Amino acid sequence: MLGMSKDTFLLVDAAVTIIGLIVLITRFKVHPFVALILAAGFLGLSSGMPVDLIMKSFQDGFGGVLGFVGIVLGLGTMLGKLMAESGGADQIAQTLIDAFGKQRVHWAIMLAAFLVGIPLFFEIGFVLLIPLVFVVASRTGVSLVKVGISLLAGLSAVHGLVPPHPGPLLAVGVFGADIGKTIFYGLIVGLPAAAIAGPMFGAFISRRIPGHASPELVAQFVQDTRTHTLPGFGVTLATILLPVVLMLLKAFADVTFAAGHPVRSWLDLIGHPITALLAALLLSLYTFGSARGFSREVIGKHLNDSLLPVAGIILIVGAGGGFKQMLVASGVGDVIGHMAVQAHVNPILLAWLVAAVIRVATGSATVATITGAGIVAPVLALTPGVNRELLVLATGAGSVVLSHVNDAGFWLVKQYFNMTVEETFKTWTAMETILSVVALGLIMLLSLVV
């Protein structure tokens, strides 16, 4: 510590902690939930925080995040599971494929993933829609990679940029952004970014790496026949997009009516992410449940099953919130904020860079978004006038860059598409990076207007 200023020490301390966190997760295979608690504790002790505040800060951060995101995750996952089991996802894809025709089938798949992915976790959306890629590729003769990359781009774009996804939703909370505007801007940035990284890049790369489906997976997916009628396209779309519409209504009310106006107060309640997702879930109990002939027992079982895979995710997200709080409480966040202001780095670019570094290091888009938002948030107080919604999007765009071997998604794609590690880098990793950089460019352009 001798000869080192307090600020420099805090920065070195934070760097050591984040590297330690990465080493625990990647080298020693410590579960991220445990690793984040250890890292937060270490940062608290080593930065000289009062001992009695260390675990309290972590606890406050954990609870602050899960008080909101935990509920949203639970509701969104249940909605997604019912959509999967009822065949709603198939219905959307089938309708779009019929509308677009064989030649443009990869565009249809990108749009389907973009729509279906809105209430779903990336991994869940992937597992839900991957059968479709195999069915479409085998029935139309279009290359597996061309269809697959388009699907992945659609899912990745909403995962990184559009609430009610957990990452962008967390950043909305940390930056104090408006959720309706964030969704609106997220769609403006997300669709063109997904189009360039998905169908356009997919058409290019699939000439070099067409992809060969494993016969076992084709056999498993392609003969899937359902025992009940699929929900209609309109009904499915209405159910999935209900929460988005309600949240946009809230944004409209906030612009149109004065604070305290009864209409605004009611629309704020109806458009709150928790209320909006709850409304969609209740509607889906009918549209994706009883209207499809599912008994109450079957619906109950689906809802129960849906929560098992997200238990771990919810704990990791909470621990990420605790770690973020420790960065703030120890003063590291402020130091980084002041440095950024002095260096005159554009806050939007800073948010993207910080999230990108953490993403490349930890492999988790959600951890990158939540930690990145925690690090960049203090900059807001020092540079008034930055658009908070665009900061959310920049953090989200940075969080999907350069997926490689430390990301579960990388291996998921490799196995399903039957590719070598090198081929996965040339397809999936390249697509994620294009998506991230194009989104950043679009966010910068948008920042000139809004």
Q: Which of 309, 190, 314 is nearest to 244 (CA)?
A: 190
What contacts 24+ positions apart, CB below 8 Å, involve 107-111?
107/150, 107/195, 107/199, 109/133, 109/136, 109/147, 109/150, 109/151, 109/154, 110/150, 110/151, 110/153, 110/154, 110/194, 110/195, 110/198, 110/199, 111/154
Average pLDDT value for the chain: 82
Q: Name every residue whose Cβ is closer than 8 Å to that of residue 150 and which is 6 or more positions away in sequence.
A: 106, 107, 109, 110, 113, 198, 199, 202
Spatial neighbors of 200 by CB under 8 A, at least 6 apart, are none
The answer to whether 435 and 157 are in contact (CB under 8 A) is yes
For 84-115, b/e burial (b = at least 16 CB within 10 A) is bbbbbbbbbbbbbbeebeeeebbbbbbbbbbb
DSSP 8-state secondary structure symbol assigned to residue 427? I
Q: What is the predicted pLDDT for the residue at 1?
A: 52
| Longest Cα–Cα distance in the chain | 73
Angle between helix 310-329 and 332-343 (nearest 10): 70
Q: Using alpha carbons only, give the angle 248, 89, 108 rounded to the nearest 5 degrees.
A: 85
User: How far is residue 175's CA from residue 336's CA, in Å, rounded to a whole number?
Assistant: 16
pLDDT band for position 286 (cuts 50, 70, 90): very high
- Burial grade of 450 (CB within 10 A; 0-12, 13-18, 19 or more): exposed
- Dist CA 331 CA 334 (whole Å): 5
Most confident listed range (12-21, 34-43, 209-218, 320-329): 34-43
Torsion of CA 149, 368, 161, 109, to 10 degrees: 20
DSSP 195-260: HIIIIIHHHHHTTT------HHHHHHHHT---SSPPPPHHHHHHHHHHHHHHHHHHHHHHHHS-TT
Residues 6+ apart with CB under 8 A from 172: 163, 178, 179, 182, 392
Question: What pLDDT, on a 0 to 100 scale, did the predictor assign at position 340?
Answer: 66
**Helices (H) then strands (E): counts for the chain:** 23, 0
**Tens of pLDDT along 347-357?**
888 889 888 87
The confidence band for 218, taking pLDDT boundaries of 50, 70 and 90, is low
pTM equals: 0.71
Instruction: Dump pLDDT digits (tens) for 160-205.
Output: 888 877 778 888 888 888 888 888 899 999 999 999 998 899 888 8
DSSP state of 346: -
Question: pLDDT confidence of 297, banded at 50, 70, 90?
Answer: very high
Are residues 366 and 375 in contact, defined by beta-carbon separation less than 8 angstroms? no
Average pLDDT of span 253-275: 86
